[in-house]
Amino acid sequence: MPADEKLQHVLDPVDAVAQLTFVVDGMLQRRCREEDLSLIQLRLLGILRDRRPTMSELSRFLELDKSSVSGLVDRAQRRGLVRRVPSETDGRVSVVEITDEGNALVGNASSGFTADVQELLGRLPATDRDRLVVLLTRLLAAHARAHGVDLFADLQQ
Amino acid sequence: MPADEKLQHVLDPVDAVAQLTFVVDGMLQRRCREEDLSLIQLRLLGILRDRRPTMSELSRFLELDKSSVSGLVDRAQRRGLVRRVPSETDGRVSVVEITDEGNALVGNASSGFTADVQELLGRLPATDRDRLVVLLTRLLAAHARAHGVDLFADLQQ
DNA sequence: TATTGTTATACTCTATAACTATA
DNA sequence: TATAGTTATAGAGTATAACAATA
């Protein structure tokens, strides 16, 4: 059809959201594969970037059974990505720390992912992009509110 | 802070996209769990909804090794969700079909997921929602174009 | 010979249940 | 007794390599 007759097609709303999720998910998976990490190993390292949780805490953060976390940490430790440190105050407890190597992998994967999403958003004109981010923020804030959470809880005084 | 001083916070663009992906992904996972399906089993059944592919074709669609597809289809068949039908024109080939039970599961999961996303989008005022979908469409179209694909290839005459 | 599909094997990821050690 | 964590076991999902059957 001629350009001046071109209708701007609009995706079905659910398809639009689902497709975006699919695309972004693929980006994350590709960045994981580059570092030879599974998604769950990346999540583990991501948590350890700014925390030194116990195994139980990891179990809650990752919503996995404690036995699953044992195996997860075993494999990460075998690769030298994390280490277990015995708690000094409670003889039952192990604290999990990330190693320099683990930090390098999670850093690579997440900066790669950030670059992917920036490249994606960079395909829109700046005004569209800004409007999109505002609308996404409103959407996520409304979703969070509906679940009794404040999206900006961090920023409150 | 008082309402009339309220600044509208805007998420970091990458965070906004990542968080949306996380939320939508969670919805899909929950709907899978309700039907006792893994994500990959749901994808398998989703493909079979409107196709009768061979094992090789499934391997390409799912981007899995043919041996992985063998196992996947084995387990789905054991549950009565799919069946293998020998090709009549090529003795090496198996065609995979979905059963009524498989169709019911994938129908439930995808209509539940659709409802989830509609509920999510329904939290925005209609004008915001419409603008968001337009912007997502533009974003996905630009992404597709950058990868040599036409998002609306189906609709062309 | 090439293609289609399965099987053998190995590894990750996950859960349940049983266990050990510490509190 | 209760809690923190590991181990034993079982099953899904994935890949590589070797194989059988058909083209």
d(CA B81, CA B102): 4
The pLDDT score that the predictor gives to residue A153 is 82
Comparing CA positions, the residue from A120, A96, A116 lying closest to residue A108 is A116
The pLDDT score that the predictor gives to residue A91 is 97
pLDDT band at B155 (very low <50, low <70, confident <90, very high): low
Percentages helix, strand, coil for chain A, rounded to the nearest 5? 65, 5, 25
d(CA A106, CA B64): 25
Cβ of residue A58 lies below 7 Å from strand C: no
Question: Is the pLDDT assigned to residue B24 strictly greater than 70?
Answer: yes
d(CA A41, CA A101): 13
Residue-wise pLDDT tens digits, A66-107: 999 999 999 999 999 999 999 999 999 999 999 999 999 999
Residue-wise pLDDT tens digits, B64-95: 999 999 999 999 999 999 999 999 999 999 99
Q: How many C-beta neighbours within 10 Å does residue A63 have? A: 7
Question: Is the pLDDT assigned to residue A11 strictly greater than 90?
Answer: yes
pLDDT band at B38 (very low <50, low <70, confident <90, very high): very high
| Residue A128, CB-side half-sphere exposure with 13 Å CA sphere | 16
A97 contacts A48 by C-beta, under 8 angstroms: yes
Question: Is the pLDDT assigned to residue A144 strictly greater than 70?
Answer: yes
Provide the mean pLDDT of chain A: 94
Label residue B87 exposed, middle or buried (CB < 10 Å: 0-12, 13-18, 19+): exposed
- B3 and chain A in contact, CB less than 8 A: no
The pLDDT score that the predictor gives to residue A156 is 59
**Phi, psi values for residue A111, rounded to 5°:** -75, -30
Give the residue carrying structure tokens 């129908």. Answer: B107
Cβ of residue B77 lies below 7 Å from strand C: no
Contacts of A80 by beta carbon, 8 Å cutoff, 6+ apart: A99, A101, A102
The pLDDT score that the predictor gives to residue B156 is 59
d(CA B1, CA B15): 25
Residue-wise pLDDT tens digits, A107-130: 999 999 999 999 999 999 999 999
Residue A156 region, left (φ>0) first, then alpha (ψ -120 to 50), else beta?
beta
Cβ of residue B103 lies below 7 Å from strand C: no
Following DSSP, what letter does each residue of B77-123 receive, concatenated? HHTTSEEEEE-SS-TT-EEEEE-HHHHHHHHHHHHHHHHHHHHHHTT
Question: Is the pLDDT assigned to residue A2 strictly greater than 90?
Answer: no
The pLDDT score that the predictor gives to residue A8 is 79
Q: Which whole number is the average pLDDT over A6-10? A: 78
A43 contacts A76 by C-beta, under 8 angstroms: no
Residues of chain B above pLDDT 90, percent: 90
Q: Which whole number is the average pLDDT over B129-143? A: 98
Residues of A in contact with B117 (CB under 8 A): 13-14, 17-18
**Phi, psi values for residue B57, rounded to 5°:** -65, -40
* Separation of A144 CA and D12 C1' (Å): 33
The pLDDT score that the predictor gives to residue A155 is 65
SS3 assignment, position A86: strand
> Which has the higher per-residue pLDDT, A17 or B7?
A17
Cβ of residue B71 lies below 7 Å from strand C: yes
The pLDDT score that the predictor gives to residue B6 is 56
Name the closest nucleotide to B77, judged by C1' and CA: D12
The pLDDT score that the predictor gives to residue B143 is 97
Searching chain B, which residue's CA lies closest to the CA of residue A146?
Answer: B123
CB pairs under 8 A between A and B: 139
B96 contacts B83 by C-beta, under 8 angstroms: yes
Q: Residues in chain B, how many?
A: 157
Q: Which whole number is the average pLDDT over B7-24? A: 94
Provide the mean pLDDT of chain B: 94
- B117 and chain A in contact, CB less than 8 A: yes
Question: Is the pLDDT assigned to residue A157 strictly greater than 60?
Answer: no
The pLDDT score that the predictor gives to residue B112 is 98
- B62 and chain A in contact, CB less than 8 A: no
- Give, for A84, the enclosing helix (H) or strand (E): strand A82-86
d(CA A154, CA A150): 9
